[in-house]
Amino acid sequence: MGLESASGNAKAGFTVSSKAVAVAAITVLFIVSLFLWTLPFQKNRLPFGEGDSAWHFAIGDSIAHNDKAAFRLPYYIGVWYYGFNKILGPFAPEYPPPSHANYALMQVLGGERFLPVFIYRAVASFLGVLAVFFVISRLFGVLPGFLAGLGLSFSLREQLTYLFGQQPTLTAVLITPVASYAWYKYLVSFYGAGSGDEGSTGGSGNKVYLFLSFTLLASQFLLHLQGFVASAVFIAVLTALMAVRFRKLPVSKSSLLHLGVAVALFAVVAAPFIAIYAGSADINVPRLGFKRLFEWGISPSLVQGSFPPSFVEFSAEYPNVLLPFLAAGLVLLLLRLLLVKNNLKELFMLSWLISAFIVLHLDVFIGIGLNRLARMLVLENYIFYSLIALTAVWLPQALSSFLKIGSRISSAAKYGLAAMLVLLLVSTSGESSYSSLKGAYGSIDRITPVQAEFAESLNSLVPEGAYVYDPSVKIVGQWRYPKMRWMLAISQRHVGRYDGGEIAGEGSFDKSQIYFLFDYSDIALFASSLQYQQQAAAWASQLQQLEQRMFNNTAPLYNGNNIRLYKYEGFGGVAA
């Protein structure tokens, strides 16, 4: 006895009616995701997100503003991570141009400075929903594709990555299932063992899928290295498993020639930007022990300070009610691998699972920090939500095969399970993601109108090479840091924290262009609440002491809405 392949409707593309169903499913997923993921700026259009968010925006914004995409960063952004790149030196970009050029293109075509970029960031972040829909629906049908996509549109981990402003990483990583799918199609065509639509090519493989795989890899490489690495691992695992399955390496004389051309073209695109990644200060961090191989994900203690526990915790991402679906999906995958004759699609899913494990444990093998690796946890979401969704299709099918249940009952069970899953998803992660996105950056953690107004004035108040110190982050807390960086992005002038000590000690400063910003506006907001009055008074006193000590007899360049700006004229160890 054996389980039947669940992909009858995925053969040879979609039929006319199922094509309309697929488009409708994608449209629904897109609109649900667009509504949810744009909640943080539907009412309040002021910028939001962590420091990374401001960093990426600032670069795209500078391209659109200057009408020039230069390879070097302008001064006000370049001193942020001054000397970060060991090969390219100061003012080198941290990423290849596409992510930030995309921001600039959206500004230009969208016709506004902020909103089109925010929409781009939201869409480019939730595209994982569509990527997984595409792959799962092509392999197993529209229904599981839709269910997996719906689960992902509510994914807390992806939403947090987006809110933190790490959208380029997310966009690059979410292409992984698509690039791997293209490679899968190539391998299936090479072995001539597909379900009839792959176009067996007698041992050379379908060139279109080969070149598509490498083009998608190039796209990932240019958006963010981590996406490329994830796909490279997935493709390697898939190739190895397929080679074992067919007892033959996917290599022939003509395929080697095509592969060589594809690699060469990839190299031509990637080579000019290799130094950006190779010179990064993020690589070659100490490796963690092999002990990590015995845990699936990343423990919150290992990324403490960089990510909240909810970002890495399994229970925060998958509500308990989904766990039986996930467990069943894993068991059914193994069963199908053993029992389904044409199990190439299942082999693809297994490769996905194995590669997610390898990618999430790369720190064991190479010197990459867990803070970077944690961003790739979304790979786990893609495969786990796919397995959760496939349970709705696979379980009735398995029961039908084992218990000889009629096809009508099996079909009813499938749609019943799917409806139950939709209800569970909406009532658990759907509801929680609605409330968390609606409340995201909804209070003092987002730049306020008076701060935005000041930042806009700052552009004309100080010259391009100015360095504006903000001492308040150290006094009031790290939560003010992203706001300070958003002031930088809006003003197109460098605003950095001042923690006391020497002023303008590094070589990157023009010592005649030092300014100090004293922003009491947040403190004033705190003071209006009885609960925080005492704390606000203490912060105000500390900041005032520093202001009086440094600028007692100096007239401010800007004085409005509890914000003051001074030009600094003297040098030497002023302690905060």
Residues that bind other proteins (CB under 8 A): 12-14, 19-20, 22-24, 26-27, 30-31, 34-35, 38, 42, 63-64, 66-69, 96-99, 101-102, 104-106, 108-112, 115-116, 119-120, 123-124, 127, 130-131, 134, 138, 171-172, 175, 178-179, 182, 199, 208, 212, 215-216, 218-223, 269
- Judged by beta carbon, residue 85 or residue 231, the one nearer other proteins is 231
Shortest separation between residue 448's beta carbon and other proteins, angstroms: 22
How far apart, in whole angstroms, are the C-alpha atoms of residue 230 and residue 417?
Answer: 32
Listed residue (123, 156, 332) closest to 131, CA to CA: 123
- Judged by beta carbon, residue 129 or residue 546, the one nearer other proteins is 129
Shortest separation between residue 98's beta carbon and other proteins, angstroms: 4
- Judged by beta carbon, residue 386 or residue 391, the one nearer other proteins is 386
**How many helices (H) and strands (E) are present in the chain, helices listed first?**
28, 5
- Judged by beta carbon, residue 173 or residue 487, the one nearer other proteins is 173
Cα separations in angstroms, 356 against 218, 284, 297, 382, 390: 20, 21, 10, 9, 18
What b/e string do you get for 59-70 counting C-beta neighbours within 10 Å, with b at 16 or more? bbbbbbeeeeee
How far apart, in whole angstroms, are the C-alpha atoms of residue 394 and residue 392?
Answer: 6
- Judged by beta carbon, residue 120 or residue 526, the one nearer other proteins is 120
CA angle 514, 497, 559 (to 5 degrees): 60
How far apart, in whole angstroms, are the C-alpha atoms of residue 514 and residue 498?
Answer: 12
How far apart, in whole angstroms, are the C-alpha atoms of residue 342 and residue 192?
Answer: 12
Residues for the chain: how many in total? Answer: 576
Q: Which residues lie across from 497 on neighbouring strands?
A: 470
How many other CB atoms sit within 10 Å of the CB of residue 289? 8
Shortest separation between residue 546's beta carbon and other proteins, angstroms: 41
Shortest separation between residue 485's beta carbon and other proteins, angstroms: 24
Tell me the backbone φ, ψ of residue 136, rounded to 5 degrees. -70, -40
- Judged by beta carbon, residue 64 or residue 468, the one nearer other proteins is 64
How far apart, in whole angstroms, are the C-alpha atoms of residue 119 and residue 111?
Answer: 12
- Judged by beta carbon, residue 218 or residue 356, the one nearer other proteins is 218
- Answer for the pair 135, 177: CB distance below 8 angstroms, yes or no: yes
- Judged by beta carbon, residue 61 or residue 363, the one nearer other proteins is 61
Shortest separation between residue 216's beta carbon and other proteins, angstroms: 6
CA dihedral sign of residues 406, 148, 387, 193: positive
Shortest separation between residue 106's beta carbon and other proteins, angstroms: 6
- Judged by beta carbon, residue 212 or residue 546, the one nearer other proteins is 212
How far apart, in whole angstroms, are the C-alpha atoms of residue 369 and residue 530?
Answer: 42
How far apart, in whole angstroms, are the C-alpha atoms of residue 136 and residue 184?
Answer: 13
Shortest separation between residue 46's beta carbon and other proteins, angstroms: 15
Listed residue (424, 378, 353, 386) closest to 156, CA to CA: 378
How many other CB atoms sit within 10 Å of the CB of residue 196? 8
Shortest separation between residue 189's beta carbon and other proteins, angstroms: 11
Shortest separation between residue 99's beta carbon and other proteins, angstroms: 8
Cα separations in angstroms, 112 against 68, 105, 438: 17, 11, 23
- Judged by beta carbon, residue 217 or residue 340, the one nearer other proteins is 217
- Judged by beta carbon, residue 28 or residue 524, the one nearer other proteins is 28
How far apart, in whole angstroms, are the C-alpha atoms of residue 388 and residue 385?
Answer: 5
Are β-strands 514-519 and 563-567 bridged in parallel, bridged antiparallel, or unpaired? antiparallel
Shortest separation between residue 237's beta carbon and other proteins, angstroms: 20
- Judged by beta carbon, residue 96 or residue 430, the one nearer other proteins is 96
- Judged by beta carbon, residue 68 or residue 248, the one nearer other proteins is 68
Shortest separation between residue 156's beta carbon and other proteins, angstroms: 22
Shortest separation between residue 115's beta carbon and other proteins, angstroms: 5
To 10 degrees, the CA torsion angle through 519, 525, 528, 534?
Answer: -60
* Both tokens assigned to 18: 């199922």
Q: Which residues lie across from 518 on neighbouring strands?
A: 564
Shortest separation between residue 219's beta carbon and other proteins, angstroms: 3
* Both tokens assigned to 176: 């992984």
Which residue's entry shows tokens 């490498």? Answer: 214
